[in-house]
């Protein structure tokens, strides 16, 4: 029998029955939770690891234009899409333009504070009503002057005498479904199906604890990569690639000790312990002071250069950093974080919601990912946001606008991203070559790890369910 590297389960020969699921030797995330200085929420300890098998994926699902057209026809209209945050359109009349896979929508704040979404199309000759965000009393088509109120009702038809064959109902702007959760605004093109709470489950339970509706967008950056949207998204669904792509993370990130959870069809989680050493370096006699030093230099979310952290004698970098974060983040947000667990103050909680929404959990400033085809199967717009918790009672500021990076700009050119910029650059260097390799693949197969890449298989299975209906 062949031997697995860094696994408790040996690689099975063909036809041989598997034994217990393999996990990386050494300290697991659950072991770290057991040593936490404060109580860890039970929902983080729960295990949800459905068996998804080991069949390879077909490489053509990333590159085939016909597969992409099936996604456009059968999947995108039926899923809840994260389209905006509340702080992007805080006042009545504020609107944004959200576009994806050939569709364009106007998302508009109404006079009563609710939000509606309309197809961004003039019902006369089809011109887009708006091409950028703003605030308005009405939407006037720049082509002929047809006008609609911001609630979607018809306001004016020039030369109305020549349109006696049409009623106001005929010309009301068609709407799409809108849902709101934790400061996020979602839309769904086709009505019906699960509610937003059902679709996101169990995130509503988990994020009730972390309250993203108390946060505001403070950094927002987008860049187009020459790769399929799924390949781009999947690059952020596992920590397995850190050993080669992000070696600077290994001193303080338990990459191979990440805990993966899968729920239903739409949600999953990678929970990576931080301020601990990767098992790939675990036998090198590294000190806790060195682990902390490396994290302060190469992590700009739960740690950063200039942060003063002292590890007490016999203590750990993880516990010491968590205690500093409870105090400093509590002061910044004017909240009491004294009972919050170490993991919620230090670790990376990377959730993924099918198809393209990835919010981080925990209490430090959170990162939000979104991927959109831009505009075809060979290109992707990736957006990275950081949302920051507001002080209690503070007035919510308007969102910062998205900074759209050109082809020759790097993520690391965005000073506000700190050490994260260099990490994203490393991921970006891989993706065009991944896409080109998938096109050139001889056997047309993508072989996934059984556990560490289980979120990718979960993602692929859900997509296949939509495409089969």
Reply yes or no on whether the pLDDT at 13 is more than 90: no
pLDDT at 19: 53
Q: Is residue 221 located within the same domain as residue 324?
A: yes
Q: Is residue 327 part of a domain?
A: yes
pLDDT (tens digit, 9 = 90+) per residue, 320-345? Answer: 999 999 999 999 999 999 999 999 99
Pairing outcome for strands 403-404 and 215-225: parallel
- Give 24's pLDDT tier (boundaries 50, 70, 90): confident
**What is residue 383's three-state secondary structure?**
strand
Q: Is residue 130 part of a domain?
A: yes
Neighbour count for residue 413 (Cβ, 10 Å): 14
Q: Is residue 144 located within the same domain as residue 277?
A: no
Q: Is residue 9 part of a domain?
A: no
Q: Is residue 150 located within the same domain as residue 103?
A: yes
Q: Is residue 311 located within the same domain as residue 182?
A: no
Closest CA to 41 of 308, 362, 327, 348: 362
pLDDT at 26: 77
- Contacts of 331-338 with CB under 8 Å at 24 or more apart are 332/389, 332/391, 333/214, 333/389, 333/390, 333/391, 333/392, 334/391, 334/392, 334/393, 335/389, 335/392, 337/363
- Give 4's pLDDT tier (boundaries 50, 70, 90): very low
pLDDT at 284: 67
Q: Is residue 180 located within the same domain as residue 279?
A: no
pLDDT at 286: 86
Q: Is residue 94 located within the same domain as residue 147?
A: yes
CATH of residue 135: 2.102.10.10
Strand partners, 84: 185
pLDDT at 22: 82
pTM higher than the cut 0.85: yes
- Report whether the peptide linkage leading into residue 392 is cis, meaning its omega lies within 30 degrees of zero: no
Q: Is residue 84 located within the same domain as residue 37?
A: no
CA distance 454 to 237: 9
What size, in residues, is the chain? 469
CATH of residue 266: 3.90.380
Closest CA to 27 of 336, 283, 335, 374: 283
Give the chain's radius of gyration (CA, Å): 24
Range of the domain at 103: 79-188
The CA-to-CA distance between both ends of the chain, in Å, stands at 41
Q: Is residue 2 part of a domain?
A: no
pLDDT at 237: 98
CA angle 312, 361, 453 (to 5 degrees): 100
Domains identified in the chain, total number: 2
Q: Is residue 353 part of a domain?
A: yes
CA angle 20, 41, 81 (to 5 degrees): 85
pLDDT (tens digit, 9 = 90+) per residue, 303-314? Answer: 988 999 999 999
Q: Is residue 285 located within the same domain as residue 375?
A: yes
Reply yes or no on whether the pLDDT at 6 is more than 80: no
Closest CA to 4 of 459, 452, 438: 452
Reply yes or no on whether the pLDDT at 20 is more than 90: no
pLDDT at 416: 95
Neighbour count for residue 369 (Cβ, 10 Å): 20
Q: Is residue 44 located within the same domain as residue 111?
A: no
- Give 468's pLDDT tier (boundaries 50, 70, 90): very high
Reply yes or no on whether the pLDDT at 464 is more than 80: yes
CA distance 443 to 206: 41
Q: What percent of the chain has pLDDT over 90?
A: 91
Six token digits for residue 124: 């006369």
pLDDT (tens digit, 9 = 90+) per residue, 65-119? Answer: 999 999 999 999 999 999 999 999 999 999 999 999 999 999 999 999 999 999 9
Q: Is residue 327 located within the same domain as residue 447?
A: yes
17: buried, middle or exposed (CB in 10 Å: 19+, 13-18, 0-12)? exposed
**What is residue 393's three-state secondary structure?**
coil
pLDDT (tens digit, 9 = 90+) per residue, 139-195? Answer: 999 999 999 999 999 999 999 999 999 999 899 999 999 999 999 999 999 999 999
Residue 187 near residue 155 (C-beta atoms within 8 A) = no
pLDDT at 285: 73
Any idea what DSSP says for residue 96? E
Q: Is residue 250 part of a domain?
A: yes
Q: Is residue 198 part of a domain?
A: no
pLDDT (tens digit, 9 = 90+) per residue, 212-241? Answer: 999 999 999 999 999 999 999 999 999 999
pLDDT (tens digit, 9 = 90+) per residue, 248-280? Answer: 999 999 999 999 999 999 999 999 999 999 999
pLDDT at 277: 93
Q: Is residue 317 located within the same domain as residue 260?
A: yes
Q: Is residue 4 part of a domain?
A: no
Residue 353 near residue 212 (C-beta atoms within 8 A) = no
CA distance 129 to 140: 7
User: Residues of 166-181 as b/e, b for ≥16 C-beta within 10 angstroms?
Assistant: eeeeebbbebbebbeb
Q: Is residue 47 located within the same domain as residue 183?
A: no
């Amino acid at each position: 029998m062949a031997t697995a590297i860094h696994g408790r389960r040996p690689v099975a020969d063909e036809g041989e029955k598997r034994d217990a699921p393999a996990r990386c030797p050494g300290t697991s995330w659950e072991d770290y939770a057991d040593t936490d200085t404060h109580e860890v929420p039970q929902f983080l300890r729960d295990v949800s690891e459905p068996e998804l098998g080991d069949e390879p994926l077909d490489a053509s699902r990333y590159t085939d234009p016909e597969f992409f057209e099936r996604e456009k026809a059968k999947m995108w209209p039926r899923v809840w899409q994260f389209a905006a945050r509340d702080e992007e359109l805080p006042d009545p009349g504020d609107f944004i333009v959200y576009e994806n896979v050939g569709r364009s929508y106007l998302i508009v704040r109404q006079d009563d504070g609710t939000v509606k979404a309309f197809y961004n199309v003039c019902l006369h000759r089809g011109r887009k009503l708006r091409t950028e965000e703003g605030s308005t009393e009405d939407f006037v088509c720049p082509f002929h002057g047809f006008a609609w109120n911001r609630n979607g009702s018809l306001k004016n038809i020039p030369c109305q005498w020549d349109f006696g064959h049409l009623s106001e109902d005929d010309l009301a702007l068609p709407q799409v479904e809108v849902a709101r959760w934790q400061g996020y605004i979602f839309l769904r093109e086709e009505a019906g199906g699960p509610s937003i709470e059902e679709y996101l489950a169990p995130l509503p339970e988990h994020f009730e604890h972390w309250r993203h509706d108390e946060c505001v967008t403070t950094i927002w950056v987008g860049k187009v990569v020459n790769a399929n949207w799924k390949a781009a998204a999947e690059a952020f669904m596992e920590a397995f690639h850190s050993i080669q792509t992000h070696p600077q993370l290994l001193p303080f990130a338990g990459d191979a000790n990440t805990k993966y959870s899968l729920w239903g069809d739409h949600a999953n989680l990678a929970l990576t312990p931080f301020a601990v050493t990767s098992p790939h370096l675990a036998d090198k006699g590294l000190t806790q002071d060195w682990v902390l030093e490396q994290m302060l230099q190469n992590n700009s979310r739960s740690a950063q250069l200039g942060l003063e952290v002292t590890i007490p004698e016999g203590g750990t970098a993880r516990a010491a950093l968590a205690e500093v974060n409870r105090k400093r983040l509590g002061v910044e947000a004017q909240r009491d974080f004294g009972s919050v667990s170490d993991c919620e103050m230090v670790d990376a909680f990377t959730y993924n919601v099918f198809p393209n929404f990835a919010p981080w959990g925990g209490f430090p400033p959170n990162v939000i990912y979104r991927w959109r085809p831009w505009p075809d199967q060979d290109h992707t717009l990736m957006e990275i946001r950081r949302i920051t918790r507001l002080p209690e009672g503070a007035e919510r500021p308007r969102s910062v606008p998205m900074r759209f990076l050109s082809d020759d700009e790097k993520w690391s050119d965005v000073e506000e991203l700190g050490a994260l910029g260099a990490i994203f650059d490393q991921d970006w260097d891989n993706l065009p070559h991944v896409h080109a390799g998938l096109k050139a693949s001889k056997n047309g197969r993508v072989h996934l790890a059984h556990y560490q890449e289980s979120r990718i298989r979960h993602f692929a299975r859900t997509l296949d369910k939509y495409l089969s209906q």
